[in-house]
Every structure is written in C-alpha cells, then in structure tokens.
Amino acid sequence: MIAALGLGAAIGVLLGLLGGGGGILAVPALVLFLGLPMPLAVGTSLAVLVINSAAGFAAHAGDATLDHGITAVFTATAIIGSLLAGRFGVNLPADRLRGSFAYLVLAVAAFVAVQATVNPPSS
C-alpha cells in the first residue's frame, strides 16, 4: 500500500508538470513497480483516469467553454474505439501488448521531443 501511495504521488507530480498522459505513465508503473498483470493495470489506470477527469472537470467547469458537437462526436467515437479494441485485445498475448505499448510510449516521447525542439514554448 505504501508503494502505491508513493507511486501515485510521483505520477501525480509528473502529470502536473507534463499536463497529461496518465495512462502512459500509470500502466507501466503499475506493471513494473507494483507487479499488476497488464489487464488489471489497464483497468486500474482507466478507473483513476475517470476519477481524475471528473475532478478536473468539476474544478474548471465554471470557466470552461465546450463545443458540445465536437465533445459528443469525440466521446462517441472514443467509446466505440475502446469497445472495439477491448474485443480484439483479449485475443492478443499480454507480452505483445506490453511490447507494443512500450514502442508507443517511445514514439510519443520522440514526437513530443521533436515538437518541443522545433517549436519551443514561449516564456
């Protein structure tokens, strides 16, 4: 339990600094440091994401302006994509998913690094 508290705090700090990407940090951390099997780590990460998202939305709902059309389309297609991926994912070996996820994390990190180099943030 103490390991989970420390890991959660570390990921929270990183998310606060980086501005997002909880699944990319949480899933590997849950698997590597807490020994959760991949399906349980993914489910745990998604549950945390829902709770964090609801809290963030509640905190900023008064100041936010939403495009309800884009929000509805994005949400609907994300749900459909998630359900389809869930059906296909159960048939894939966990080792293959882990390896693919690692490559995805590296690709996203490379993209962010190149983007930050080409278009550095203004102060």
Distances (CA, A) of 117 to 20, 21, 108, 111, 113: 19, 19, 14, 10, 6
**Rounded to an integer, what distance in angstroms lies between the CA atom of residue 120 and that of residue 113?**
10
- Mean pLDDT taken over the chain: 83
Residue 72 burial (CB count, 10 A): 11
* b/e sequence 9-46, b meaning 16+ C-beta within 10 Å: eebeeebeeeeeebbbbbbbbbbeeeebebeebbebbe
pLDDT at 107 (0 to 100): 86
**Tens digit of pLDDT for each residue in 41-65?**
888 888 888 887 888 788 888 887 8
Among 43, 40, 45, residue whose Cα is nearest residue 26:
45
Give the length of the chain. Answer: 123
Domain ranges of the chain: 1-65, 66-123
Average pLDDT over residues 56-80: 89
Q: Which of 12-16, 69-73, 112-116 is most confident?
A: 69-73
Position 19 pLDDT exceeds 70: no
> Could you tell me the pLDDT band of residue 2, with boundaries at 50, 70 and 90?
confident
